[in-house]
Copies of this chain bind each other. A is one copy, B any other.
Amino acid sequence: MAQKTTIKEFEAVFPKLEAVLLEHANSYKLPKQALDWYKQSLQVNAIGGKCNRGMSVPDSVSMLLGRALTEDEYFKASTLGWMTELLQAFFLVSDDIMDSSITRRGKPCWYRTEGVGMIAINDAFMLEAAIYTLLKKFFRDHPRYVDLLELFHEVTYQTEIGQLCDLLTAPEETVDLDNFSMEKYRFIVVYKTAYYSFYLPVALSLYMLDVATPENLKQAEDILIPLGEYFQVQDDYLDNFGLPEHIGKIGTDIMDNKCSWLVNQALAIVTPEQRRVLEENYGRKDKAKEAVIKKLYDDLKLEQRYKDYEEKVVGDIRAMISNIDESHGLKKGVFEAFLAKIYKRSK
């Protein structure tokens, strides 16, 4: 999620999109109470994140063109970027309900806000619907309009199958390490995160500029999916080995029974005795048991294992980037920018 645009510039686009969305609701004479509610949901759920995914659209478009964007180009690219943010908002609002989460972005989760509750499910739907309202408003005459619609449908579906697998693999109540495997881990990470966070913004950029040939899309996918996987592995690594003052929170993956890269690595190399320790201490809401797992991770040298993985995967990704065929409008810089943002990040 490379960036040259600033969050300030990117956020300045949102009010125009919000006006379109409220005008659309208004065209149906939605009663005032409901209109105010929708506005509040957009404000709380669509805005306020880091917008890395959204901003990577104008940045990628600029990289593909090899120049700064005109005002109209910036608006169009950022509008596509905001659609990725709306898609994420749809997923986060509902994921927080499914995970019984408490806070999001330092505030109570939307469904835990006074008076909201399960109405949040319908609010999530309306965040998703906003994508198609904006696509119709701003891209109906674009030569790749159908592809944009299908791209959002497919990436939404991919994220949903990743989410389903995640929910079935690591249910909150039951700890069953037999459920975990690196294969399932990879499936979850690729579909639940990589497609919408990494592939989607670049594919949108390629469609916007009408350079989304099958070859360009394939090259982008081949690089961005491993990159997205690496990003999530890193996230799991930082949850345990990162500094709370860097990552801005205290990791809870062990206590939350997460199907994390670390536990999957551990499972692959434990002795029968260590496996027993894992079984007895993983996924419990108990600080002492968490400490036992942390100690086991140290004994298993998972920090070094992560560093080896990182060097290997980054080497592979760099090789793929250097092999990119730039003759049909794709640019290595798009991927270099993503990688630079991620490599050896500490937060």
Which residues of A approach B to under 8 Å, CB–CB?
Answer: 25, 28-31, 33-34, 37-38, 94, 97-98, 100, 118-119, 121-126, 129, 132-133, 136, 145-146, 149-150, 153, 156-158, 160-161, 163-165, 167-169, 183-184, 187, 191
Shortest A251–chain B CB gap in Å is: 23
**Copies of this chain, count:** 2
A119: which of B28, B30, B37, B167 is its contact (CB, 8 Å)?
Answer: B167
Interchain CB contact under 8 A, A129 and B146 = no
Subset of 25 A-B contacts with CB under 8 Å = A25-B161, A30-B161, A30-B164, A31-B165, A31-B183, A33-B169, A34-B161, A34-B164, A34-B165, A37-B164, A37-B168, A94-B121, A94-B122, A119-B167, A121-B121, A122-B160, A122-B163, A122-B164, A125-B160, A126-B157, A126-B161, A129-B156, A132-B150, A146-B146, A146-B149
Contacting residues, chain B, for A187 (C-beta < 8 A): 29-31
Contacting residues, chain B, for A157 (C-beta < 8 A): 126, 129, 132-133
Interchain CB contact under 8 A, B34 and A168 = yes
Interchain CB contact under 8 A, B156 and A122 = no
Shortest A120–chain B CB gap in Å is: 9
Residue of chain B at shortest CB distance from A126? B160
Most-contacted residue by chain B among A31, A164, A167 (CB, 10 A): A164
Interchain CB contact under 8 A, A97 and B118 = yes
**C-alpha spacing A191/B121, complex, angstroms:** 18
Contacting residues, chain B, for A97 (C-beta < 8 A): 118, 121
Q: A94-B122, A98-B119 are in contact. Are A28 and B158 (CB under 8 A)?
A: yes
